[in-house]
Amino acid sequence: MHTHTAALRRAAQISQHHIFPRTLLITIIFFVLMYAFYFLTGLKNMTDYKPTAFYPHWKKKQPPSMACGVPVENDPIINVTNLKTYMVSSYIEHRQKVKMIRTIAIVLRSENAEYNCLLCCNGRTLPVSANYSIHSDHFGFEYGTADITCQIPEMCPTPTHVAITSRSPKEDGSLQDIHAFQPIRNQQKQEVFPYEFTVCISTMFDYVNILMLVQAMEMFKILGVQRVAIYKTSCHPVTQKVLNYYVRQNFVEIIPWRVSSYINVSRGWKKSVSPGELHYFGQIAALNDCVYRYMYQSHYVALQDLDEFILPLNLDNWKELLPELERKYNLEVGFEFENNFFPVSMKDPRPKYSPDSWKKVKGVNILEYVYRLSNDPTRFNDFKVIVNPRLVFTTTVHGFLQSMNGSVRVNHEIARMYHLRDIQRDDVVTHFHIRDTRLRDYADRLIPAVSKVLQKVLGIY
């Protein structure tokens, strides 16, 4: 009996010895097949998908590039050591008699700082004294946009990077420390440009108007735009998904705009209504940066917002409009397009212009607004501009502070700006309402283009 029991126990042990590896092998094969299935189906469904576009943290962290032994920071903003000064970007200024570096900056106006440019030249640093001027359009806020300029010395004809420092030396007499260099852009003056029209959008924060974003991008394309530069602080996750799509198309450039991490920014232009230390998220600094960033990349730049559409009334697009304006007014000026408000409280929904699929998307449908408020011809009416950026030295929200030949107001019967906005009720009541369906003339091209993007990016049918 004992012998029989021992034999059974040994048989069970042998059986378990053979079953366990077999079970393990089957489990391993199962997981390998599952992984292969998901990998292959993932490739099939994500042919244009770039993981780093949606999830930047997937990127393998690269060591920072270095210049003269110091890390290089390509994005705005760099705080100048021991000062309330923030470098935005630096450019070679080719249009002056003396070649110089122009750094666009945001400064505390009351600080009265003195600056040096610290140049990186062939692996060695060279300090050069700098001058600065604060732009007059600061709207009474403590901080304002400024230009910090320094001449390029003969012993350093091609500096590649710059840092701004305080001219005041440290207690031991040495120069102030720097923690980052900034690349100097526009090294070469160009005559041929990759883009005909670039739109500068400043600034995007807490942006949730997803439908209008897609409509704006597709309207820009219809009008002849090849590039849109967006200075972005924050937006809705779905907005970011749409932006990523246009970045992959090489249609949008996102410039990270982190001014609010350093300065208490206002959410409006009027300090008494929108408190803060800097006007409207540093909008003016962003606009000036865009002019210089695209100075030798784009024939024209348009300085506007996403809810604004500059439309020719008798022509189809900007490619037809701008040569006509240059013949009529002057080749070497900026062009002002008068603002016309379309209150979002006055809707004109029509099934033809309001696809059911669009109603699933957060945001305003620009084709539903056809009531324009009349402008008073005896009063000043705001405008936005399209300009050859090489004519501009400093810009502001409406027009230029310094340019070669100024700007002209385009006759509103030739072109005007359509501006969709939430208008105060008193303003709506006191103005005439004019039915203006010009935007709908683009509907046959706009509707299928927008629907295609919503399907492709958001899966909305």
Span 363-421, pLDDT tens digits: 999 999 999 999 988 888 999 999 999 999 999 999 999 999 999 999 999 999 999 99
Answer with the one of 185, 209, 237 that is the final residue of a domain.
Answer: 185
Q: pLDDT at residue 14 above 50?
A: no
Please indicate, yes or no, whether residues 269 and 410 belong to a single structural domain of this protein.
Answer: yes
Q: Does one domain contain both 210 and 347?
A: yes
**CATH number, domain with residue 289:** 3.90.550
pLDDT digits (tens, 9 = 90+) for 141-167: 999 999 999 999 999 999 999 999 998
Strands 66-67 and 70-71: antiparallel
Can you give the pLDDT at residue 222?
A: 98
Q: Based on the fold, state whether residues 104 and 253 are members of the same structural domain.
A: no
Q: Is residue 425 predicted with pLDDT exceeding 60? A: no
Q: Are residues 207 and 158 in the same domain?
A: no
pLDDT band with cut points at 50, 70 and 90 for residue 28 = low
CATH (domain of 153): 2.60.40
What is the per-residue pLDDT across 77-110, written as a single tens digit (0 to 9) for each? 999 999 999 999 999 999 988 999 999 999 999 9
Considering the domain boundaries, does residue 335 fall inside one? yes
Split into its structural domains, the chain has a count of: 2
Q: 184 and 149 in contact (C-beta within 8 Å)? A: no
pLDDT band at 135 (very low <50, low <70, confident <90, very high): very high
- What digits encode the pLDDT tens for the residues 288-315? 999 999 999 999 999 999 999 999 999 9
- 216, 132: one domain: no
- Which of 150, 185, 220 is the C-terminal boundary of a domain? 185
Question: What range does the domain containing 342 cover?
Answer: 195-458
- Tokens representing 37 are 């299935």
Q: Specify if 38 maps to a domain.
A: no
Q: Supply the pLDDT for residue 55.
A: 34
Look at residue 23 and tell me whether its pLDDT is greater than 80: no
80-107: b (≥16 Cβ within 10 Å) or e: bbebbbbbbbbbbbeeeeeebbbbbbbb
Whether 142 and 246 share a structural domain: no
The average confidence (pLDDT) of the chain is 88
Q: Which residues of 197-217 are buried (b: 16+ CB within 10 A; e: fewer)?
A: bbbbbbbbbebebbbbbbbbb
Residue 25 lies in a domain: no
327 pLDDT more than 50: yes
Task: Choose among 221, 460, 236: nearest CA to 356.
Answer: 460
157 plus 212 within the same structural domain: no
The one-letter code for the residue type at 60 is: K
CB 159 within 8 A of CB 182: no
Q: What angle do CA 449, 451, 453 make, to 5 degrees?
A: 75
Specify whether 436 is located in the same domain as 316: yes
Confidence of residue 63 (pLDDT cuts 50, 70, 90): confident
Whether 163 and 76 map to the same domain: the answer is yes
Mean pLDDT of 338-350: 94
Same domain, 157 and 236: no
C-alpha pair distances (Å), 283 with each of 139, 266, 269, 303: 12, 10, 9, 11
**Cα-based distances in Å from 300 to 5, 91, 308, 411:** 94, 18, 17, 19
| Lowest-confidence region among 20-34, 113-127, 230-244, 260-274 | 20-34
Same-domain status, 224 and 244: yes
290 lies in the same domain as 362 = yes
Of the candidates 185, 210, 232, which is a domain's last residue?
Answer: 185
pLDDT of 452 higher than 60? yes
